[in-house]
Amino acid sequence: MKVNQDTIKYLASLSNFALTDSEADRLESDLGEIIKYISQLDELDTDGVEPTYQVFEMENVWRPDEISEQDAAPDALLSLTKTTQDHQIKVPQVL
């Protein structure tokens, strides 16, 4: 897998980064090196091996479907944002 500026642009868009040109240049070589390193997994024979996604030993953990008291009140959460209006978070124009 060869990393070029098109790869970096694509990954920056997936990651929601407005990269500068010098950052994009630097990332091209850094990501190229990292991908070269992780590609050594090709050597490992994994035929017929099942994947593992988590190491938690339990199946489902159930809780009653009831509304319980929350640790943070809506007002406390709303106070964390930069700008509010009419008890809602205000952001730049969407459309």
Partner 1 sequence: MKTASKEISAVSLVEEALEKAHRYQKEYQPFTWINDHAIEQAREIDNRIAKGENVGRLAGVPYALKDNFLSSQGETTASAHILESFTSPVTATAVAKLESEGAIMIGRTNLDAFAHGSSTENSYYGPTKNSKDTECVAGGSSGGSAVAVALDIVEFATGTDTGGSIRQPASFNGVFGLKPTYGAISRYGVVAMASSTDCVGFFTKTAADLNLLMEVCSGQDAKDLTTLPDYYATSPVKSGSKKIGIIKDFDNDAIDSEIRTAMKTEIIALEKAGHEIVLLDMPALKYALAAYYIIVPAEVASNLSRHDGIRYGFRSNSSSSLGELYQNTRNEGFMPENKRRIMIGNFVLSSGFYDAYYLKAAKARTLIIEEYQKAFSMCDFILAPVSPNPAFKLGEKVNDPVSMYLEDVMSVPLNLAGLPGLAIPVGKNAQGLDLGLQLVGPRRSDRALIGFAEELETINQQEKA
Strands, E, within the chain: which ranges? 84-85, 88-89
Residue 2 as a binder of partner 1 (CB under 8 A): the answer is no
Residue 67 as a binder of partner 1 (CB under 8 A): the answer is no
The token duo for 11 is 């990954």
C-beta separation of 27 from 55 below 8 A: no
Binding mask 30-59 for partner 1 (x = CB under 8 A): xx-xxx-xxxxxxxx-x--xxxxxxxxxx-
* Nearest to partner 1 of 42, 86 (CB atom): 42
C-beta separation of 5 from 27 below 8 A: no
Binding site for partner 1 (CB under 8 A): 1, 7-8, 10-12, 14-20, 23, 26-27, 30-31, 33-35, 37-44, 46, 49-58, 61, 63, 71-73, 76-77, 80-82, 89, 91-94
